[in-house]
Amino acid sequence: MMPDLQQVGEGQTQQWAPNTTVPVVLLENVSKTYGKIHALSEITLALSGGVTGILGSNGAGKSTLFNLLMGKLKPSSGTVKLFGTDPWKNPAPYARIGFVPEHEKMHDWMTAHGFVSLFARLNGLTREEAKTEADRVLNFVGLTDVAHKQLGRYSKGMRQRVKIAHALVNDPELIVLDEPLQGCDPLARTTIMNVIRELGKMGRTVLVSSHILHEIERITEQIVILHNGRLLALGNLHAIREKMDNIPHTISIGCENPKELAKDIINNDAVYGISFPSGNNLQIQTHNLNEVHRELPALIVNNGHKVSSIDNPDDDLESILKYLTGGLAR
Amino acid sequence: MMSPPKKDNVFRALDRKLGAVAEFTMRQYRTKLSTWVILGVGFIAIFIVVLFYVDSMQQEIEAIDNDGDSMDWDGDGYPTGQERIYGTDPDNPESHPGTFSPPIAPDPPEKWINEDDFDWDLSARGDTTVGYDDDGDCRLADSTQSQKDNNRNNVECDIILDYDEMRGEWSEPNSDRLVDEDPDEEKYAKEAIHRAFLLAIGKMGFVFLLGIFLPLFLATGLIREEMDNSTMHFMLAKPIARRDIFLGRIVGYLGIVWPYVIAMGLIVGLISGFAGPSDGFFRFADLGMWMAIIFATMLATLVYGMLFCALGTLWKHGIVLALPFAAWELGMAILSFNAPSASILRFSVIGWSLNIIDAASLVVWPNMNLFINMGLWGGGHGDGGWWGNSLEGADALSAFASDTGLGISPIATIVVSTFVLLFQALILWLIGSAIFKGKEIE
């Protein structure tokens, strides 16, 4: 009942050794309900190593899942284990975990270096160790130059990187990032994505949540899709995509002469419809996205078309969800 | 990549997580305007009371000739008191000490005002009799034995004052004739007002006002504000138990409040030490009182801090839960003035804190109860006497001073009260962190 003088966290963590025979993250039949609302239903998931994207629209249960992992919520039923330990009962696993919360509020009066080194001390580092560690992680996310500026004067992307830096203290084995790209400018996005990919290459287990498919696609292929609190799909993004190739897709092409391009494209068997939304834009309806994309570059180059952009407007989370739920998604 | 940690001693270990949370909390409070507003309001409130005190110390208190012996009723130039001492007739202008050989010069009348000082001393004269006939008019040669000892305790020129242990009351003083019948009002009033001020500001200003309102505004949000601002997520994502976060936040809050209480106590202590009545230039003995006041206030801010932080964690509007507690404690404070041994006081924080101050006052001013009783007796001119009043300051001092109510020695009272308060803080810490641990945070 006394204060923990050894300061290694509750649960006799001096002896706490992560169980290497179990997955880093393990959820078994985990549900979280608020009254009649099911935030999460019967999630079973085991993850170890690599970058995993947690995809889901707003309200799908991503944040609830992360809050369960971070010991901030108690599961209504089922078990949550990190390195084999229940995080609601024992904060010891957090010695090996870094968390980037979604919330934007930070302690604006602190400098980035002060913020990171202070929270590094909560990992059990001394003042001096914490300062060295703060220098290292801030350098890792590319903020060394501005490390001694107040957080209140940081741009959104910079703040996001500070949060990531603070999570990387003590070189954690599991890094959990809740919507790390939300609201960032393109440059910050690229930097953050690179950092996440780098962590994956270093052999860490990384969980990244997002509601935007393209973002996740640029980071990882291994995804978990949540929808209305349920685990909808788990696995390789491309494998899921393959299955989607047989359903109707739209490709939008920006070009100088849509009519000429349409004439060439209509010959392709996979294309069954064409429309012209505006004077320099062409939309193609297809049920085989891959084949069209295979043919398209050659067709454009061979016929000398001037093309400014090629987009797949419905190749996003919504359409995947629509496909996976059989059109039941909103 | 990290070097293995050096072997920790307790201080190095504490400097890690707990120290980091505490340091963070202190720095956070320093950046908040509200902190400075609250501390500033506390300073102003205390300082206004100090101004009233300093003003009252500057005022002249009229010296009253309680027994009328400065008068020269027969017009021979000799005050009555002087004539009485020399055995001449105060009502006969022909009879005065000027007719003696050699003749004795007349005293100025002022010499026979306040000629009895105030000097009750229990220890010097046994347990039940007090008083000293400074002007010698009780011990006059021509007084009869029964006049010199009309309270019949076989001691000449004294006052009987008994303490009834069972009822916890002092008896009505039973005085021999002309003992301490004309005490020094100014000297008494200054001393009494000074002591009353120390007790009043110590109890109501420090323990009650600072002791409750600083925690009310500074501790209630310690955990709650972080939860509402969702900045708590950063802390909860680290390997630190919520119980230690709770404690670290409290330590950080005390890191702001305790230096403030100590500084306030020293400032007011210095002012009153110089402004108060003393033989030298400074009332050094009062420092013991100030140490007790500061100590009691520190303990009160600790216990209330734990309590209000727990209430804030329990409910978003924890301050609403805290206010009834503050009202309860005010009631207990008022009760402690009138019924210091009421057992309901044991169920309060302030009752124990005030015990420390009361006990210290008995250590610092050992003759406290005699001093109060002498003032209330007013030289025998109290109830039904000529002037019908106790000495100025006596009522105020009597109101603010109380017994410790535990029925044990002052030092033991301080020790017991300290342990009780620390125990209360420990229990509240465990309750508060249990509440915090059970909280789901989003």
Q: What is the pLDDT of residues A203-222, one digit of tens each?
A: 899 999 988 887 888 888 88
A70 lies in a domain?
A: yes
Which tokens in the block code for residue B441? 């945070």
Best to test chain B binding among A122, A170, A173 (most B CBs inside 10 Å): A122
For residue B102, is the peptide bond before it cis, meaning its omega torsion is within 30 degrees of 0? Answer: yes
Q: How would residue A6 be classed by pLDDT, with cut points 50, 70 and 90?
A: low
Q: How would residue A116 be classed by pLDDT, with cut points 50, 70 and 90?
A: very high
Which tokens in the block code for residue B260? 């403030």
Residues 6+ apart with CB under 8 A from B65: B71, B112, B113, B114, B182
Cβ of B234 within 8 Å of Cβ of A166? The answer is: yes
Query: Which pLDDT score is estimated for B39?
Result: 96
A330 lies in a domain?
A: no
Beta bridge partners of A45: A27
- Residue of chain A whose Cα is closest to the Cα of B15: A126
| Strand A230-236 versus strand A222-227 pairing type | antiparallel
Q: Domain total for chain A?
A: 2
A224 lies in a domain?
A: yes
Integer angstrom CA distances of residue B402 from B116, B221, B391: 27, 35, 19
Residues A303 and A190 in one domain: no
Closest CA of chain A from B315, distance in Å? 17
Q: State percent of chain A over pLDDT 90.
A: 34
Q: How many CB pairs under 8 A join A and B?
A: 124
Which tokens in the block code for residue A203? 């052999």
Among residues A227, A242, A257, the one where a domain terminates is A242
- Residue of chain A whose Cα is closest to the Cα of B251: A3
Per-residue pLDDT of chain B (442 residues; tens, 9 = 90+): 444 445 556 666 666 788 899 999 999 999 999 999 999 999 999 999 999 999 988 888 777 777 777 888 888 888 888 888 887 888 888 888 888 878 888 888 888 887 777 777 654 444 567 777 777 777 777 778 777 887 777 777 878 777 766 666 677 777 787 777 778 888 888 899 999 999 999 999 999 999 999 999 999 999 999 998 888 889 999 998 899 999 999 999 999 999 999 999 999 999 999 998 888 889 998 999 999 999 999 999 999 999 999 999 999 998 999 999 999 999 999 998 888 888 888 899 999 999 999 999 999 988 788 788 888 887 766 544 444 568 888 888 888 888 777 878 899 999 999 999 999 999 999 999 999 999 988 7
Distance CA(B140)–CA(A154), nearest Å, equals 92
Ordered alpha helix ranges (H), B279-317 = 286-314
CATH number at residue A274: 3.30.70.1400
Residues of B in contact with A73 (CB under 8 A): 440-442
Among A40-44, A62-66, B9-13, B380-384, name the one with the lowest average pLDDT.
B380-384
A204 lies in a domain?
A: yes
| A50 φ/ψ angles, rounded to the nearest 5 degrees | 80, 175
Q: How would residue A12 be classed by pLDDT, with cut points 50, 70 and 90?
A: very low
Query: Which pLDDT score is estimated for B166?
Result: 67
Residues A315 and A286 in one domain: yes
DSSP assignment of B175-244 equals EPTTSS-S--HHHHHHHHHHHHHHHHIIIIIIIIIIHHHHHHHHTTHHHHHHHHTT-HHHHHTSS--HHH
Query: Which pLDDT score is estimated for A327?
Result: 61
Residues A220 and A312 in one domain: no
Place of tokens 């050794």: A17
Greater confidence (A92 vs B261) lies with B261
Among residues A206, A223, A242, the one where a domain terminates is A242
Residues A288 and A229 in one domain: no
Residues A97 and A172 in one domain: yes
A8, pLDDT greater than 90 = no
Query: Which pLDDT score is estimated for A11?
Result: 41
Residues A226 and A284 in one domain: no
A54 lies in a domain?
A: yes
Task: State ipTM.
Answer: 0.80
Q: How would residue A26 be classed by pLDDT, with cut points 50, 70 and 90?
A: very high
A289: containing domain: 245-324
Residues A270 and A178 in one domain: no
Q: How would residue A13 be classed by pLDDT, with cut points 50, 70 and 90?
A: very low
CATH number at residue A156: 3.40.50.300
Cβ of B244 within 8 Å of Cβ of A126? The answer is: no
Q: How would residue A244 be classed by pLDDT, with cut points 50, 70 and 90?
A: low
Which of B251, B277, B249 has its CA nearest to residue B365? B277
Which of B283, B298, B261 has its CA nearest to residue B365? B283
Residues A144 and A256 in one domain: no
Cβ of B31 within 8 Å of Cβ of A109? The answer is: yes
| A103 φ/ψ angles, rounded to the nearest 5 degrees | -60, 145
Is there a contact between A233 and A245 (Cβ–Cβ < 8 Å)?
no
A31 lies in a domain?
A: yes
Cβ of A3 within 8 Å of Cβ of B244? The answer is: yes
Residues A167 and A204 in one domain: yes
Residues A154 and A220 in one domain: yes
Best to test chain A binding among B36, B226, B238 (most A CBs inside 10 Å): B238
Residues of A in contact with B6 (CB under 8 A): 126
A181, pLDDT greater than 90 = no
Amino acid of residue B54: V
Query: Which pLDDT score is estimated for A301?
Result: 83
Residues 6+ apart with CB under 8 A from A142: A161, A191
Distance CA(A77)–CA(A80), nearest Å, equals 9
Residues A219 and A136 in one domain: yes
Name the residue facing A107 among B14, B21, B28 (closest C-beta): B28
Q: Which residues of A173-205 are buried (b: 16+ CB within 10 A; e: fewer)?
A: bbbbbbbbbbebeeebbebbbebbeebbeeebb
Query: Which pLDDT score is estimated for B109?
Result: 82
Which tokens in the block code for residue B285? 């003995």
Among residues A242, A261, A296, the one where a domain terminates is A242
A1 lies in a domain?
A: no
Distance CA(B277)–CA(B371), nearest Å, equals 15
Closest CA of chain B from A171, distance in Å? 9
pTM, to two decimals: 0.84
Mean pLDDT of chain A: 84
Cβ of B10 within 8 Å of Cβ of A5? The answer is: yes
Residues A137 and A30 in one domain: yes
